[in-house]
Structure 1
Amino acid sequence: MVSLWENWRRGAGMGRRGPKFDTFGGPSAYAVELTKRHSSVSLTEQGADSGSMRVNLSWRMRSSDFDGVGRPRGSLRHPLQALKPQVVQAHTQGVVNVDLDLACMYELTDGGKGVVQPLGNFLGDWNGPPYVKLTGDDRFGSPSGETIYVNLDHKDSIKRLLFFVYIYDGTPAFDRTHAVLTLFPSNGPRVEVNLDQRAPQARSCAVLLMQHEKGQLTVRREVRYVYGFQAELDRLYGWGLQWGRGYKAGKS
């Protein structure tokens, strides 16, 4: 019989040295978090530069009961408050309504440029250019979040991809949300970027840049907030697209 201690050690990855990877060739349960200090990773070195890559945005609303340093107010008088989570899953009347959208600017090696986003119903294409496909629009921060798929079997046709998040509707309140962008490659560890900086008035955030560097496909953490929308991100990264006002389905 395997002891509870042995089960815990195996689950925590202590039964072997180094991070635990799946052995069947699929995506690993191990995650690489990109930070300011360690901001990039080579997908080629990870063996993760082919097949289907899922890019997911998920977010939760922060509780208004906590101050800027993340500690519960009045914790000395109410010590049990420290046991409560610092974020809540659902939108309530007491929480700012924030609608985060995941999008991607693309530039192809043949010179083609564009955007994949909910606004204007630019959902992209999986089998043809730009080999980037948006699957839907989540307006409520559900656990499944929003997802973009990238067909890395055509990586040689892709020059660069900029994954960004913007607040289309409601109050600009990145500081009231806890958002995570996660890459799930077909092989190797997933890659996570946390949008954890305080930018209360920002409308958009460039999160992750995927591009070819020295013969390898790499991803680099950006997390650059701007106070405008796509056009401002375009100028920041020199995309050179023409922008107009767009609307979501059912909104005007």
Structure 2
Amino acid sequence: MPNPAIVNLTKATPTVSLDKHGLTSELIRGNLNWASPQAAAQRAAGEARGSLGRIRASLRSATSTTVDLDLGCMTRCTGGSKTVVQALGNAFGAVVRFPYVVLDSDDRTGARETGENLVINLDHQAEFQKLLLFVYIYQESGDLCGLDAVMTLTSDNGDRFRVVLDECPPQVHACAIALIKRQKGELVIGREVRWFTPQDGPGVQDVISRPYRLGMKWTPGRK
């Protein structure tokens, strides 16, 4: 068996074919790992040496902002069916029926070591037209700068496809991370890293979906 591949999707090499890696069935897992300022400060407080260092680290932790970062996936199938998988509205999806995408949890602090994870069932990949992986800050409780967010897609055979959310401009509250779509008969992952600011519009999901022509209609929701 060949060693699992590690593919970094960058501006220079933004796309990769899943078919060329033999990924035409089974599951692929998308992990978003990030660290909120508060979680980072709490870890520093626990690792600080000396009473003065612990006091300073504790003060930084107390004044740090909690950021609730949400991972999601907008799905459009070849028959026209479309939906979104996200924590908002408890729309966690399903892996054995439409939309064949499921979100495992809602990490509201960034302290969860495994972050948030999407599972995509490639047994139904022939039905996929577009899968847009995105992230946004719930209720705009801060911005995405300094969160060191990384999206990693891992196949059952261990192949990993990484997208680093780098070059983040100030005051952005959402990002279209990657687009999985059918291209010349193959399923292709493409790096997007497209940023959105509060000024872009009132509904963050609507703003993210529009450039990708997913044809979705949105209503306000809470979690």
**Could you tell me the TM-score, scaled by structure 2's length?**
0.82
Task: Tell whether 2:37 aligns with 1:57.
Answer: no
CA offset digits 1:78-101 (Å, max 9, x no partner): xxxxxxxxxx9xx92243321111
Q: Does the CA-based 8 Å contact 1:49-1:185 persist in structure 2?
A: no
Task: Tell whether 2:162 aligns with 1:192.
Answer: yes
CA offset digits 1:168-220 (Å, max 9, x no partner): 04533211210001101123520010111222211210000001111111100
Task: Tell whether 2:10 aligns with 1:35.
Answer: yes
1:112 corresponds in structure 2 to 81
Higher alpha-carbon Rg:
1
Q: Does the CA-based 8 Å contact 1:172-1:200 persist in structure 2?
A: no
1:75 corresponds in structure 2 to none
AA partner of residue 139 (structure 1): R
Q: CA deviation at 1:227?
A: 1.7
**Could you tell me the TM-score, scaled by structure 1's length?**
0.73
- Runs (4+) of structure 1 exceeding 6 A deviation are none
AA partner of residue 97 (structure 2): G
* Greater helix share, structure number: 2
1:179 corresponds in structure 2 to 149
The gaps in structure 1 that reach 5 residues or longer are 1-19, 23-27, 64-87
Task: Tell whether 2:177 aligns with 1:202.
Answer: no
Q: CA deviation at 1:138?
A: 0.7
Task: Tell whether 2:217 aligns with 1:247.
Answer: no
2:105 corresponds in structure 1 to 136
The gaps in structure 2 that reach 5 residues or longer are 39-56, 199-203
1:66 corresponds in structure 2 to none
CA RMSD of aligned residues (A): 2.0
Q: Does the CA-based 8 Å contact 1:183-1:192 persist in structure 2?
A: yes
Tell me the distance in 1 between the aligned counterparts of 2:196 and 2:154.
26
SS in 2 for 1:231: helix
